[in-house]
Structure 1
Amino acid sequence: MNEEQKLNNPVWYSLAESHKKLALLYNKTHFYDPDYCAFGAFNEIPNKGEDVVAYAKLVPSFFIFGEKPSIPNSLKLTDELLCLQMIVRSRIIISYKDEIVKLEESHREALLGLVKIVYPEYFKSKTADLGNYYGIFKNNQLVAITGERMQMNEFTEVSAVITHPEHIGQGYAKQLVAFTANAIFEQNKIPFLHVAKANIGAVKLYEKLGFETRREISIWNISQ
């Protein structure tokens, strides 16, 4: 297996490599500590139903990346989100018109407040500890963020591309995605991201920045 093939199962290989200390292992299924993110994946088909039951005791709703999981009747397969996995292979050259700040612990309350408005289902109390996060402030208000989530030895995911609803259309997402991707290149890693296939506007933005679609991947929402 070459390194890029690991992107076919990004949760599994993140938990086997850079985020190994955050892994909860249930037979064939590996999960993140739910304080960081409620993601899981399996490396063999089929997974065991008892694996997801065990994890469901820790968190009421979670997500499996990749192939459709087997689940027992005690749980519900709530939704399938079809995503594009996109990758960029060289630095992004753009002009930054706004100041971009690396977010620290002192910014955590503002970060979580913005996430709660826009993007609450995937973000947990310690998600921002998975990597570096960057933001744009206007009048002392955090109005846009982007950061790093899943990480492997050779790849880091760009994630949490969030802009406050009252500040959309100012080019903040474009700047933050480019800045975050370039920061990943500076770590000698390659940036990738996941975006809902139906989110045409975001897909077009990423394509303009140089991202190309590598594959489609499903995210399965499981709940009690």
Structure 2
Amino acid sequence: MATPGSPAAEGAAPAALRNPVYAALSGPHAAIAQVRGRARVYPSDVAPFLGLPDAVTEQDWHDAAKLVGAGRLVATMRPDLPVPDVFEPDRQFDLVQFLAPADFGADEPEAVVLGPDDVPEMLGLVALTDPGPFRARTIELGSYLGIRQGGELIAMAGERFRLPGFVEISAVCTHPGHRGRGLATRLIRAVVAGIERRGDQAFLHTGGSNLTAIRLYESLGFSVSHQSKVTLLQPA
């Protein structure tokens, strides 16, 4: 199996997966995208991600700065990219992308579909567990499933980036008081089952320093397809 940084990992990802934000905002999520020139960004209450084409020009950066606007922090998700003076870098971290194995999905009888009325509780679980960006309208990007105990939402997972042929698993989190029961794995399988039924392949991201998550996904049969960096930046 490829490991982060290996040649096999670098060459395995299709073009769309190497620039997933732009592929999503240019494709299945085009209707929600805010656009100026070739630059694309999610609304701030949906997700913090900025999409730029593979070959970024100076004009693309200027369009992006005007599109994002002063004071807003956004994130790019791609290999290390020189940032011009129109943007001010904030911080950066490594990212590993995994592809789900074939036929990984399995329905989960305890899973419930989460909707807009569940968002306050979902935001509370995210604040407690920090699985990555999840905002008031992130739920509009795909399907989200949860597991409840005594009426309380104790675990959830869902879909974020949609690319042609691929859907990203995101917001995987479990209440600290209920970890060690395999809830996250069960929900990941349930989300993947829905993705597979639509004929798409599931993928996900985790931080390059999150060795616990990397080992978990490898143990489940996920394979590294690509590695990149998340860079947080704002218009200068």
TM-score (norm 2): 0.84
Counterpart in 1 of 2:89? 77
Q: Is the 8 A contact 2:145 2:187 kept in 1?
A: yes
Cα deviation, 1:91-111, whole Å, max 9, x if unaligned, reads: 226695x71111122322211
- Alpha-carbon contact 2:106-2:192 (below 8 Å) kept: no
1:17 matched to 2:24? The reply is: no
Q: Which has the higher mean CA deviation after the structures are superposed, 45-54 or 8-17?
A: 45-54
TM-fit CA distance, 1:124: 1.7
| RMSD, matched Cα | 2.3
Partner of residue 90, structure 1 = 102
2:189 matched residue in structure 1: 178
Query: CA separation in 2, counterparts of 1:121 and 1:161?
Result: 9
**Alpha-carbon contact 1:34-1:58 (below 8 Å) kept:** no
User: For 1:157 and 1:95, how far apart are their aligned partners in 2?
Assistant: 17
The one-letter code matched in structure 1 to 2:76 is I
Which residue, out of 74, 77, 90, partners 1:65? Answer: 77
1:59 CA drift (Å) = 6.0
Kindly indicate whether the alpha-carbon contact (under 8 Å) linking 1:158 and 1:192 is maintained by their aligned counterparts in 2: yes
Match status 1:54 vs 2:63: no
Between the aligned partners of 1:195 and 1:51, the Cα distance in structure 2 is 29
Query: Higher relative CO (CA 8 A, sep ≥ 6), structure 1 or 2?
Result: 2
Q: Does 1:32 align with 2:45?
A: no
Given the superposition, is the C-alpha separation of residues 52 and 163 from structure 1 closer, same or farther in structure 2, using an over 3 Å criterion? same
Q: CA 1:59/1:113 → structure 2, altered by over 3 Å: closer, same or farther?
A: farther
Checking the alignment, whether the CA contact within 8 Å between 2:72 and 2:234 is kept in structure 1 is yes
Cα 1:95–1:182 shift into 2, 3 Å: closer
Question: What CA distance in whole angstroms lies between the structure 2 residues aligned with 1:59 and 1:175?
Answer: 39
Residues 58 and 122 (structure 1), Cα distance of their counterparts in 2 relative to 1, 3 Å cut? farther
Query: In the alignment, which of 160, 175, 178 is matched to residue 164 of structure 1?
Result: 175
- Runs (5+) with no aligned partner, structure 2: 1-12
Q: 3-state DSSP class of the match of 1:90?
A: coil
Quickly say closer, same or farther: Cα 1:95–1:36, change in 2 above 3 A.
closer
Q: Distance in 2 between matches of 1:91 and 1:216?
A: 24
Q: Kindly, what percent of the aligned residue pairs are identical?
A: 26
Distance 1:41 1:20, change over 3 A: same
Q: What is the Cα deviation at residue 17 of structure 1?
A: 1.1
Runs of 4+ residues over 4 Å off in structure 1: 93-96
AA aligned to 1:15 is L
Task: Report whether the alignment pairs 1:137 with 2:148.
Answer: yes
Query: C-alpha displacement at 1:121, in angstroms?
Result: 5.9
Runs of 5+ unmatched residues, structure 1: none
After superposition, give the CA deviation of every residue in 1:14-70 in whole Å (9 maximum; x if it has no partner).
111110111122334221222211101211234544234224427622101114252
Q: Residue 16 of structure 2: SS of its match in structure 1?
A: helix
1:41 maps to what in 2?
Answer: 51
Q: Answer whether contact 2:105 2:191 (CA < 8 A) is retained.
A: no
Q: Which residue in the other structure is 1:106 paired with? A: 117
Shift of 1:90: 1.0
With the length of structure 1 as denominator, give the TM-score of the two structures: 0.88
Distance in 1, Cα, partners of 2:218 & 2:51: 27
